[in-house]
A and B are shown apart, each in its own frame.
Chain A
Amino acid sequence: DAKTTQPPSMDCAEGRAANLPCNHSTISGNEYVYWYRQIHSQGPQYIIHGLKNNETNEMASLIITEDRKSSTLILPHATLRDTAVYYCIVRLYSGNTGKLIFGQGTTLQVKP
């Protein structure tokens, strides 16, 4: 699986959009980009994933560049409860679940 690079930490003001970047320059054509987050002491939680196109769900939006070498997770209106470690993961997915390898992630601190 391709490796990812994320900033170690970021701050965001409550109510503003949080934009979390991820570089995955060695991604291959059949690898997906996944985002998970881990709120203190809890198990990681799935947020969103995508292959080529931008994706949106009730939690967030995922913007993947045309060359697929980087992506951005957007939390449109961050709240204090969004304070967490956010993991960007690149992973092969073929229909049968393969392994998910976590990096160090970005610690997002949402401030009042």
Chain B
Amino acid sequence: DAGVIQSPRHEVTEMGQEVTLRCKPISGHNSLFWYRQTMMRGLELLIYFNNNVPIDDSGMPEDRFSAKMPNASFSTLKIQPSEPRDSAVYFCASSPGGTNTGELFFGEGSRLTVL
């Protein structure tokens, strides 16, 4: 199994630019999560989906952030316009759901630097 795949692995952009992070969950998993990690705030849950439907987006910082899951095999997290304080590592995770352990499988992360 390829695991959760995130792209890009690294992104450097300038303030005001649009950033799109992508995630391909493990095939067959029906839950998908977006997390952000910084030194100051640790790992923060931004949003999660069950069966492609957003369930809880209370962690999304503000209207500049949006996430979509158009189908079971793809999700995006978009920041528009980006700001230096958005610099962080963004992790995507997926989970099988159902009567399993509730284990989340994380990707390698996308490191975003906004100048």
Contact = CB atoms under 8 A, between A and B. Distances in A.
B interface, over-half SS: strand
Contact of A97 (B31, B42, B45, B106): B31
B108 A43 contact: yes
A49 B101 contact: yes
Given A43-B108, A91-B102, A97 B95 contact: yes
B12 interface: no
Nearest to B97: A97
A34 B103 CA distance: 9
A9 to B, nearest CB: 15
A95 B95 CA distance: 11
**Interface size of B as a range:** 20 to 34
A101 interface: yes
B103 A99 contact: no
B43 A102 contact: yes
Nearest to A96: B97
Contact of A49 (B45, B102, B105, B106): B102
Interface residues of A, number: 25
22 contacts: A38-B43, A42-B109, A43-B107, A44-B43, A44-B91, A44-B104, A45-B106, A46-B103, A49-B101, A87-B43, A93-B102, A95-B98, A96-B31, A96-B50, A96-B98, A97-B48, A97-B104, A99-B45, A100-B33, A102-B35, A102-B44, A104-B42
Interface of A: 32, 34, 36, 38, 41-46, 49, 87, 91, 93, 95-105
Interface of B: 4, 30-31, 33, 35, 42-45, 48, 50, 56, 89, 91, 93, 95-99, 101-109
**A-B interface, 10 closest residue pairs, ranked by CB to CB distance from nearest:** A43-B106, A102-B43, A97-B31, A46-B103, A97-B95, A93-B102, A97-B97, A43-B91, A44-B106, A95-B99
